[in-house]
Amino acid sequence: MMKKVESHVFNTARWHNTCKVAEYGEGAYVYDSEGKCYLDAIGGTHVISIGHGVPEIAEAIAEQTRKLCFLHKAQFTCEPQEKLADTVVEMAPEEMDRVGFVTSGSTANEMAYQVALLYHQLRGKVRKSKIISRWHGYHGHTVATIGMSGSMFVKGSNLPICEALKFPRIQPPHCYQCPYGLTYPSCELACAKELARTIEQEKPDTVAAFIAEPIIGGAGSAIVPPPGYYETIRKICDFYDVLFISEEVLTGFGRTGKNFGIQHWKAIPDIITATKGLSSGYAPIGAVIVRQKVREIFDRATENIALSLFTYAGHPISCAVALAVLKYISKHNLIERCGTMGKYLKTQLQKLREREPLIGNVRGEGLLVGLEFVQNQDTHKPFPRSLHITETIMKTGLENGLILRGRFGTGTGLDGDHILISPPFIITESECDELVSKLELTLKQVKQSLNLVVCTQL
Ligand SMILES: Cc1ncc(COP(=O)(O)O)c(C=O)c1O
C-alpha cells in the first residue's frame, strides 16, 4: 500500500500542505480529524446559511439520487429544477421572472455577462461589449471574471489576464476610506457618478453592463454603500442603455437579512447572480435571475441561442438540494433571524472596537459583517502590507478554534487589512459571544506577536 507522504491535490495556496483535515460539521461548528473543534465564523467562506450537518438535506440528496441522477437539459427539464425556479422567482424582486441555473459564482457571472452581450446583440447593438466593474469587487476565477474583479489580491496574481481584457473599473463606495477624500452626503455620491463619466469615456455604444456586489463581500469585507447610491447607479444605467448586474454570490438568499442585498435600496437590477446561500454549501449550484425586459428580447429570437451550455447546469441533485435548503430557510424563518442575529453580532463587535483600537471600522448588514484594521482609529491609517496582519489574524484565529477569513487592499494600494465574518444564520447569541471573545483573544495575541503599535489619538 502506498504510504501517503504528501498531498497529491494540486492546490496553489501556500498554506495547503499545513491544512487540517476537516472531519465533520454540526450547526455552527466543525471538527478536524484530531477532534479539535472550531467555531465556523465564516460559514465555510460565506456559503453556509442553515448550518452544518442538517439531516433534511441529506435525505433530499438521497431521494433525488434514487429517482434521477442526471439528464441533459437539451431534451429534458426535471421537477426539482422547475420547482426551484418557481421558488427563486417568488423570492426575487418584482419584474424578475426567469432564472437559469449554473454551477458556481464564476459561471453565474460569466452567464450574466453573456446574457448582457446577447441582449444588446439581439437588439442590433453589436458594439456594446464592455463590462464595467469596481475596484475591490470579486467576481470569480474564470478568465472573464478575473478580468471583472477589482480585488488587489486577484489582480496581483493574474496581471496578464487583467492586461489582456482591460475591463474598465470605477472606485468603490467605501466611505470609511473614501477614494476621493470626501464625506457623505456632501460628496454628492461622487463614486456613483463616476460610472456616468466612465461610460462617456469608454463611449456609451461600447458598454454592455455594469456589475457590482450590492454590499462588497470578501474583497472589501462588507462595504455598504451610502443611501441613494444604487438609485443613482440605476438611473445612469437606464440613461446609457447599460444593464445593471447585481452580483449577489454572497448576498443572495438571505445573508443580509433580506432575500437579496439589492433590496436594501430602491433599485431593480436587470440581472441578479446568486450562489452560495442557494444551497448552503450542500451542492454546487448558482442562479442567474433576469428581468422581464431582458427576457422578452430573448423570447423574440427566432434561432436557438447558445447560452449556459455547461453540462452540469441545473443538475437535478443540486436543484433538489437548493429546494430543500430554501424550504428549510422558510420553515425556520432564517432570513429574519439572520437580520436580528446580525444586529446582535454587530453591536457586540462595535463594543469590542471600543476595547480594541486595532479595529477601525465595523460594518455590514445581517450576518455579513466586516472589520477593518488600522494603526489609528482617528485617521483610519492602515498597516503596511508587509506586516501581513490579515494572514496572522487568520492563522492565530485557527489556533484558537475560530475560523476567520480576510483580505487586504481597502486602504491605499495593497495596504488595508480586513476580515469578513459570516457565520451560519442559525448561530445563537451565546455562540456570537464566543465568537467575539475568541476574536478579542486572537487580536491581542496578534498585536503581541507582531509588536503592533496602535493609537487612538491623533
Ligand atoms: C462575490 C463573489 N463573486 C463570485 C465568486 C466566485 O464564486 P465561485 O468560487 O463559486 O466561482 C465569489 C467567491 O467567493 C464571491 O465571493
Q: Examine the pLDDT at 41 and tell me if it is beyond 70.
A: yes
Q: What is the pLDDT of residues 281-330, one digit of tens each?
A: 999 999 999 999 999 999 998 888 888 889 999 999 999 999 999 999 99
Give the CA radius of gyration of the chain: 22
Q: What are phi and psi of 380, to 5 degrees?
A: 65, 20
Residues 53-62 as b or e (16 or more Cβ within 10 Å = b)? ebeebeebbe
Q: Are strands 402-403 and 37-40 parallel, antiparallel or unpaired?
A: parallel
More reliable by pLDDT, 1 or 335: 335
Q: What are phi and psi of 403, to 5 degrees?
A: -90, 120
Chain centroid, CA 268 distance in Å: 19
Chain centroid, CA 134 distance in Å: 14
What integer pLDDT is reported at residue 458 of this predicted model?
A: 43
Q: How many angstroms does the Cα of residue 183 sit away from the middle of ligand 1?
A: 30
Q: How many angstroms does the Cα of residue 106 sit away from the middle of ligand 1?
A: 6
Can you give the pTM of this predicted structure? 0.96
Does the beta carbon of 250 sit less than 6 angstroms from any atom of ligand 1?
yes
Atom of ligand 1 at shortest range from CA of 275: 10
What integer pLDDT is reported at residue 456 of this predicted model?
A: 60
Q: Read off the C-alpha cell for 362.
A: 465595523
What integer pLDDT is reported at residue 15 of this predicted model?
A: 62
Q: How many angstroms does the Cα of residue 5 sit away from the middle of ligand 1?
A: 32
Average pLDDT, the chain: 94
Does the beta carbon of 220 sit less than 6 angstroms from any atom of ligand 1?
no
Does the beta carbon of 133 sit less than 6 angstroms from any atom of ligand 1?
no
Closest by CA position to 285, among listed 37, 40, 111, 66: 111
Does the beta carbon of 276 sit less than 6 angstroms from any atom of ligand 1?
no
Q: How many angstroms does the Cα of residue 450 sit away from the middle of ligand 1?
A: 31
The arithmetic mean of pLDDT across residues 170-187, rounded, is 96
Closest by CA position to 420, among listed 385, 371, 386: 371
Q: What is the pLDDT of residues 388-438, one digit of tens each?
A: 999 999 999 999 999 999 999 887 788 999 999 999 999 999 999 999 999
Strands in 178-261 per DSSP E: 207-212, 243-248
Q: What is the pLDDT of residues 57-109, one digit of tens each?
A: 999 999 999 999 998 888 899 999 999 999 999 999 999 999 999 999 999 99
| Ligand 1 mutation pick, 106, 247, 251, max ligand atoms within 8 A of CB | 106
What integer pLDDT is reported at residue 127 of this predicted model?
A: 97
Q: How many angstroms does the Cα of residue 303 sit away from the middle of ligand 1?
A: 32
Collapsed DSSP state (helix, strand, coil) of residue 427: coil
What is the band of 1 on the pLDDT scale with cuts at 50, 70, 90?
very low
The arithmetic mean of pLDDT across residues 13-39, rounded, is 88
Q: Examine the pLDDT at 264 and tell me if it is beyond 70.
A: yes
Listing DSSP states for 79-140 in one string gives: HHHHHHHHHHHHHSPTTEEEEEEESSHHHHHHHHHHHHHHHHHHTT-TT--EEEEETT----
Atom of ligand 1 at shortest range from CA of 142: 11
Q: What are phi and psi of 94, to 5 degrees?
A: -55, 155
Q: Are 41 and 48 in contact (CB under 8 A)?
A: no
Q: Read off the C-alpha cell for 433.
A: 459571544
Q: What is the pLDDT of residues 187-236, one digit of tens each?
A: 999 999 999 999 999 999 999 999 999 999 989 999 999 999 999 999 99
Write down all domains in the chain, each with its CATH number in brackets: 16-53+333-450 (3.90.1150.10), 57-331 (3.40.640.10)
User: How many Cα neighbours within 13 Å face the side chain of 6?
Assistant: 5
Q: Examine the pLDDT at 2 and tell me if it is beyond 60.
A: no
What is the band of 16 on the pLDDT scale with cuts at 50, 70, 90?
low
Rounded to whole angstroms, the Cα distance separating 60 from 280 reads 14
Does the beta carbon of 138 sit less than 6 angstroms from any atom of ligand 1?
yes
Q: What are phi and psi of 138, to 5 degrees?
A: -130, 130
Q: How many angstroms does the Cα of residue 312 sit away from the middle of ligand 1?
A: 18
Q: How many angstroms does the Cα of residue 249 sit away from the middle of ligand 1?
A: 6
Q: Whose CA is nearest to atom 4 of ligand 1?
A: 139
The arithmetic mean of pLDDT across residues 110-123, rounded, is 97
What is the band of 17 on the pLDDT scale with cuts at 50, 70, 90?
low
What integer pLDDT is reported at residue 5 of this predicted model?
A: 56
Q: How many angstroms does the Cα of residue 125 sit away from the middle of ligand 1?
A: 30
User: How many Cα neighbours within 13 Å face the side chain of 255?
Assistant: 36
Does the beta carbon of 148 sit less than 6 angstroms from any atom of ligand 1?
no
Rounded to whole angstroms, the Cα distance separating 116 from 241 reads 11
Q: What percent of the chain has pLDDT over 90?
A: 84
Chain centroid, CA 348 distance in Å: 23
What integer pLDDT is reported at residue 159 of this predicted model?
A: 83
Q: What is the pLDDT of residues 350-361, one digit of tens each?
A: 999 999 999 999
Q: Examine the pLDDT at 136 and tell me if it is beyond 60.
A: yes
Rounded to whole angstroms, the Cα distance separating 293 from 381 reads 45
Q: What is the pLDDT of residues 141-162, one digit of tens each?
A: 999 999 999 887 777 788 888 8
Q: Are 313 and 100 in contact (CB under 8 A)?
A: yes
What angle is formed at CA 67 by the lines to CA 62 and CA 69, rounded to 5 degrees? 80
Strands in 189-299 per DSSP E: 207-212, 243-248, 271-274, 286-291
